[in-house]
Amino acid sequence: MKYVKGNFLPTRRFRDLADLNAQVRTWVLEEAGQRRHGTTLTQPLALFALERPLMRRLPAIAPDLGTWQRVSVHRDCHVQFDRCFYSAPFTHVGQALWLRATDNVVVLYEDYRHLASHLRARRPGQRMTQRDHLPPQARAFFARDKAWCLTRAADVGPRCAELVERLLADRVSERLRAAQGVLALSTRYGQGKLSKKA
């Protein structure tokens, strides 16, 4: 590049890009490629003629180099990128990681070590969470999903099942945490008492 800047560009003027390309081609074929290179002591075009048969073709589709960004792992075990959230192992909370995003995948690295891969989220605010990234107490919370709550409530009794169904019925403000709290009372006070009070 230094050779081109010092020997080709200062001595010429160009009307447009096509003119620049034509002039640089002539310069390479007649002048720069025929000179004796200072390091290899050969003509660059002669050396290229030897190397050309050994070169591989470029891929039909250019590789996706992706976007790199430094991110921090928040207390909820997620990093934020492009208004979406991706989980990282809970042991890295508070640490800075490298994130590489392509059109389809988001990958997290600690230095050069691969930590996690996620499909790329498509909606702002979307969370891509791998349960094994969460601490044990959080995994237990998420294991007690809507289906678990409904089954457990039915085991406690019909009144409890009805209450939990009402809590979980509203799709807009589904109250999973409230349903989990009601069912936790069965551990504290027993199923019989909860069934009567529900």
CA angle centred on 120, ends 170 and 59, rounded to 5° = 155
Q: Contact at 8 Å (CB) between 77 and 87?
A: yes
pLDDT digits (tens, 9 = 90+) for 48-86: 999 999 999 989 988 888 999 999 999 999 999 999 999
Question: Can you give the pLDDT at residue 155?
Answer: 85
Question: Can you give the pLDDT at residue 198?
Answer: 56
Average pLDDT of span 123-148: 83
Calculate what percentage of the chain has a pLDDT beyond 70: 90
The edge-to-edge listing of strands for the beta sheet with 127-128 is 78-81, 84-87, 127-128
pLDDT digits (tens, 9 = 90+) for 138-155: 777 666 778 888 888 888
Q: Is it the case that residue 126 has pLDDT exceeding 90?
A: yes
Q: Is it the case that residue 181 has pLDDT exceeding 60?
A: yes
Domain-by-domain residue ranges, the chain?
2-54, 67-134, 144-197
Q: Is it the case that residue 5 has pLDDT exceeding 70?
A: yes
CA angle centred on 46, ends 28 and 38, rounded to 5° = 75
| Locus of tokens 């009070």 | 197
